[in-house]
């Protein structure tokens, strides 16, 4: 082993020891930007199309969670933010400002062409909907992970 290889191996070992023993990391969770709901259209047969604009450039971005309630306030502030219906998007690249098309349908059909994600849920006409962004939260102390939700989006009334 020459001196260059030995220096590389030593620096790699020091880096591994430093990362393994590092306790000075942030415990503050990253805040994701909430989406903006643009429109909702009734396509018939309990099928709806929702247009959403969003920007989530962070690598922890996972997708969106849809909430439905009888009032605007409850749709934006549910008693339990885990009770919505998720839409997990593929992580092929960093998400930039984009307009998404979501299809909400209680049946488990495949996505229609041009649809970013299908949300398997039943919406009731006259109810309110809201969405939140899902970010991945990892706890390094006990090696667990969960979703962290953003602040709520605006609301729309289901037609």
* pLDDT tens, residue by residue, 58-81: 667 788 999 999 999 999 999 999
Tokens of 98: 């984009």
41, 44, 45, 46 alpha-carbon torsion, rounded to 10°: 20
Rounded to the nearest integer, the mean pLDDT of the chain is 80
* Class at the top of the CATH hierarchy for domain 36-157: mainly beta
**Domain spans of the chain?**
36-157
The structure's pTM equals 0.76
Residues written for the chain: 159
What pLDDT does residue 96 have? 66
Distance of CA 36 to the CA centre of its chain: 13
Question: Mean pLDDT throughout 25-32?
Answer: 61
Q: Which of 62, 69, 36 is nearest to 50 (CA)?
A: 36
Higher pLDDT, 17 or 151: 151
């Amino acid at each position: 082993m020459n001196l260059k290889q030995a220096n590389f191996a030593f620096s790699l070992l020091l880096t591994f020891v430093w990362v393994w023993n590092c306790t000075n990391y942030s415990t503050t969770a990253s805040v994701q930007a909430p989406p903006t709901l643009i429109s909702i259209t009734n396509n018939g047969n309990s099928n709806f199309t929702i247009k959403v604009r969003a920007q989530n450039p962070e690598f922890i971005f996972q997708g969106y969670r849809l909430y439905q309630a009888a009032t605007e306030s409850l749709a934006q502030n549910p008693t339990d933010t885990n009770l919505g219906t998720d839409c997990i998007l593929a992580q092929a690249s960093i998400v930039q400002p984009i307009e998404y098309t979501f299809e909400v349908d209680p049946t488990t059909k495949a996505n229609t062409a041009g649809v970013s994600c299908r949300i398997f849920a039943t919406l009731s006409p006259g109810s309110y909907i809201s969405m939140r962004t899902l970010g991945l939260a990892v706890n390094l102390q006990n090696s667990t992970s969960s979703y962290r939700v953003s602040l709520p989006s605006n609301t729309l009334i289901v037609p």
